[in-house]
Amino acid sequence: MTQPVEGKVARTVQRFTSRALGPYQSAVVRIGFAATWLLFLLRELPNRHEMYGPDGPWSWDMGRRLISGNDAFTALMWSDNTLWFEIVYGAAVLSSVLLMLGWRTRAMSVIFMIGVLSLQNRSIFMGDGGDNVIHLMAMYLVLTRCAQVWSLDARRAARANAVPGVPPRDRVGPALWLVLGCGLVIATFLNQTGWLVLLVVWLLWVAQGLWWMVSRYAPNSEPRTLLDVLANLTHNAALVVIMAEVCLIYATAGWYKIQGSRWQDGTALYYPLKLDYFTPWPALSDLLASGGLMVMVLTYGTVIVQVAFPFTLFNRRVKNVLLVAMMLEHAGIAVLLGLPFFSLAMIAADAVFLPTAFLVWLGGRAVRGRDRVRSKADVVPEQRRGSQDQPRTLVG
């Protein structure tokens, strides 16, 4: 009896340490949160000085007093210079683009996290629930191997593996590592709060350098295998934490809603539909609010889905149905209540539970669509070239 149990435990440990689980799910989460933060930064580009910069109502001195009390990390407290703010904001935008594309994902995930923490901790009263989710996921993504698929890193690795026995020459990686190391030295002297974040970044920088050296000079050694196992363990643990975080968000929101009288009598959805701040489409909001039965169904349905979702993870079919319902719910919030970035953040978090078969099918469809566009783009110049090569006939 003990041998089958031990065999199952051994297989579970082997599976958990031999590979990074959920490569497609982690890639979708990476792309989703990077795109959400990028779109938010681009939309608020004209208002960036009022929200996080020197022209905001939450002045730099007030922010420094708050940061000194809660010991949060933000690079914007290193200087109150406008140029420094523009550099941090630009780095946040650039890191979002590169993380979404999966270029040097390990380094870009760290810079992405620093950008998120720097801007959000600078003006903590500017955020909402979606910003809190991005805040947490930016830290979790640093620990994941989220570029195994659908990334420029994966394409570069595939090209390197196409020539067996020849170690790939990587000049950009070491150069980027040295530049970031110099930046860390400067940040260490400038930083005054949030030392835990800076310590984690230093540990990641050292670990990345060790990983490159072992992979370059001892690719088939036991230290390389050990580092791979540790990376898989860290990734899988972070993925479990992301799943638990999403379940906790929905469970907490659902159980708090149950305690509210407006959610109990089925009228909670009616009130935000009547607030000018949450009605980007007044006619649509009035139409929905006028239907008492629809308001009651959506109100009760929201509570049921949020409370029930964590309990359906062990039933794949029911989980997938509720997952679609939650994503549609967030899409409705984006349209009806005018909260697109909150909805995008929650949809990106929900994506960690999407089935692998669906993601593989979706990736295949995207590849076929890309190839079709490329083939059409190649055919048009050939047709033009062929028409130019044809002999012209004189008429008349």
Q: State the pLDDT at residue 392.
A: 46
3-class SS of residue 104: coil
314-349 pLDDT tens trace: 888 999 999 999 999 999 999 989 899 999 999 999
| 263 and 347 belong to one structural domain | yes
**Cβ 257 vs Cβ 263: under 8 Å:** yes
| 298 and 202 belong to one structural domain | no
Question: How remote is the C-alpha of 325 from its chain's centroid?
Answer: 21
258-290 pLDDT tens trace: 888 899 888 998 998 888 888 888 888 888 888
| 96 and 35 belong to one structural domain | yes
Lowest mean pLDDT: which of 121-125, 166-170, 192-196, 215-219? Answer: 166-170
DSSP code of 51? H
Residue 174 has pLDDT above 80, yes or no: yes
| 37 and 183 belong to one structural domain | yes
Residue 50 has pLDDT above 50, yes or no: yes
Q: Report the mean per-residue pLDDT for the chain.
A: 87
126 vs 380: CA distance, rounded Å: 49
Alpha helices in 102-221 (DSSP H): 105-122, 129-141, 152-161, 172-190, 195-217
Global pTM reads 0.90
How many independent structural domains does the chain possess? 2
What number of other Cβ atoms are within 10 A of residue 157's Cβ? Answer: 14
Residue 53, CA atoms < 13 Å, CB-side half-sphere:
19
| 289 and 349 belong to one structural domain | yes
**Cβ 34 vs Cβ 100: under 8 Å:** yes
Identify which of 12-26, 29-43, 219-233 has the greatest average pLDDT. Answer: 29-43
Lowest mean pLDDT: which of 56-70, 190-204, 293-307? Answer: 56-70
Domain extent at residue 278: 247-368
| 107 and 194 belong to one structural domain | yes
166 vs 105: CA distance, rounded Å: 23
Closest-CA residue to 324 (of 358, 360, 284): 358
Q: State the pLDDT at residue 158.
A: 87
**164 within domain boundaries:** no
Q: State the pLDDT at residue 202.
A: 94
296 vs 292: CA distance, rounded Å: 6
Q: State the pLDDT at residue 279.
A: 84
Tokens 């140029």 sit at which residue?
Answer: 83
Residue 367 has pLDDT above 90, yes or no: no
| 213 and 251 belong to one structural domain | no
**382 within domain boundaries:** no
| 182 and 303 belong to one structural domain | no
